[in-house]
Structure 1
Amino acid sequence: MTMFNRILAPLDGSARAETALGWITILPARHVRLLQVCPGEDTRRAEAEEYLTAIAARVQAVATEVEIRVVHDEPAEGIVAAAADADLVVMCTQGAGDGGRLLYGSVADRVARHAPVPTLLVRGGRDPIAATPVRRIVVPLDGSPAAERALPMAAKLATILAGQLHFITVDDADGVDQPRSSTTDKGATAAHAYLEQMAGDTTADAVAPSTEVRSGEAGNELLTAVGPGDLLVITTHGRGAARRWQIGRVAEKLLRHAAAPIVLIRADSP
């Protein structure tokens, strides 16, 4: 059975942060590392270890080995350091910090941009994303090499989860609704050709990816295209050389509103 070797799950003791645990039960892994980062000289190490031990009992059924680790550091820095030998970080975009506000742009953002491995971000809080079996791994592409760096991880996830790869791009005409013309038709034709080329170059267990070209404002179109049972895989930013829109401009919108969790890949990853 194909699986991840090690998944890192940062927790802060809050129910919101534990939203990510449901996704760990869906992602098969040999090892799961449960991490709590205590700031500075925090003396509650024993309390943190007791908490993580209780959480470990909940995830032991899905991993050969469950490790608990408590470190003293700043949250993002401690998580990034603990991810050095992991395959994937799985964490919630909301935790107890700062009143539970969306942490994309602070801790989760810094982890996604600096961790040496991809980060699966799960929205918690008032509009959480419940863990559901994954049917499709959706990869938004904007025509840039940076965006295409999401493809190897997407193919790996499709193999591990037995899901369908789905490539999507948006012909947004600079985000403005305009009547169709020969120019826009040519753009759509080029977009279809681009996705077909990407699909031909990428397979997961010999299952050809499906493709989709949408027209409209990129963020809204991607929100419409995904739903429960999907898993988005996207780079932290793209350059949009062949498409007008850029991946990074819609990533935060997707994190806030999409009905699916997002695996963020560093655009400068090897």
Structure 2
Amino acid sequence: MSAAPRRVLLATDHSDESHAAGRTLAALPFPSPPEVTLLHALAVPTVSTGTGPRPIPDAAIARMQSAAEEAQAAEAGPLEAAGLTVSSEIRRGKPADTIVAAAAEAHADLVVLGAVGQSALERLLLGSVSDRVAGSVGSSCLVVRPTGWPDEGRPPRLLIAVDETPASARAAACLAALRWPAGTTAALVSVMQTFDTFVPDFTNTLPTLWDELRVSSERRLAEAAAPFEAAGLEVTTDLQTAAHVGETLCRRARVHKADFVAVGDHGGSAAMKFLLGSTSRYVLRHSASSVWICRDAAG
């Protein structure tokens, strides 16, 4: 079965960032057009009174609903012009919770949304809708940031994180399944983690093991690169040595000027995520590229 998504949920708040996410989705070279659900979460505000918060008047809610419907129709147009089948849905509720629930109900293979322009520090301290959705949704998730593609009319630049896990293989398969245009570049990046924090001078303390790890890393890079090379892309393999994987991926994404960074979500327990974080979450919060977090169909 192809790793390309067949059911996509595009979450929009009708902002410039959401419009950019829609343009990116419309430009992605899917092997066959996916079904797209265009979702808007209508967060109905409340007003404070002496007796506590109360909903705003029904007439105001009706105006919000009408404005949302008009904006939905405008956003659906370019997607349909690109050959995508689009259905529109407006739900009332908190945006992140609403998006996650709708994605599960639709059995979405991919959730696409724009990242609001926060700094990395703001995303770290406050979080964001995109951060919460990407961390909670069971499907793959593409968080779009402005990189110049597709608006500049050039081929895209891809970076795919490669390691020894099935999640990494999913990330490579996910992007390799698309029919990228001539001139597309694909950088396959693997980071050999030194663990110097735990074992001082790790690489020299265990030289034989380190050499074996290097050989296996080079082999995985070659295997991950093969489908991109077969598709005629301009491929480079990039083996790095560093203590912090996520930080290194973000740095290499800047070097390669990547439009997309694809990472596999390794999962793990909530306790492990709390203690150690995750590479995918670090990249999502710190990269200036669009971030494609790849998961299998079961999440």
TM band (smaller chain): 0.7 to 0.9
Residue identity opposite 1:72 in structure 2:
R
Change in 2 beyond 3 A, CA 1:95/1:7 = farther
Structure 2: which 5+ runs fail to align? 45-54, 56-60, 269-274
Instruction: Provide TM-score, normalisation by structure 1.
Output: 0.73
Q: Separation in 2 of the partners of 1:59 and 1:3?
A: 18
Change in 2 beyond 3 A, CA 1:232/1:247 = farther
| 3-state SS in 2 of match to 1:16 | helix
Which entry has the higher C-alpha Rg, 1 or 2? 2
Percent identity between matched residues is 26
Aligned to 2:162: 141
Q: Separation in 2 of the partners of 1:253 and 1:113?
A: 11
Structure 1: which 5+ runs fail to align? 240-245
Matching of residue 119 in structure 1 with residue 141 in structure 2: yes
| 3-state SS in 2 of match to 1:204 | helix
Q: Counterparts of 1:1-270 in structure 2 under 5 Å? A: 4-28=5-29, 29-39=33-43, 42-43=61-62, 44-83=64-103, 84-94=106-116, 102=123, 105-123=127-145, 128-132=146-150, 135-157=156-178, 159=179, 163=184, 166-174=187-195, 181=204, 183=206, 186-187=209-210, 189-197=212-220, 199-200=222-223, 203-204=226-227, 207=230, 210-216=236-242, 217-226=244-253, 227-237=256-266, 248-266=277-295, 269=298
| 3-state SS in 1 of match to 2:99 | helix
Q: Which runs of 4+ in 1 moved over 6 A?
A: none
Change in 2 beyond 3 A, CA 1:250/1:201 = closer
| 3-state SS in 2 of match to 1:12 | coil
More helix by share: 2
Shift of 1:161: 5.7
Change in 2 beyond 3 A, CA 1:171/1:251 = same
2:189 and 2:240 in contact (8 A); partners too: yes
Shift of 1:10: 0.8
**Greater CA drift, 58-67 or 9-18:** 58-67
Instruction: Provide TM-score, normalisation by structure 2.
Output: 0.67
Pairwise CA RMSD? 3.8
Matched positions, count? 254
Q: Separation in 2 of the partners of 1:3 and 1:143?
A: 22
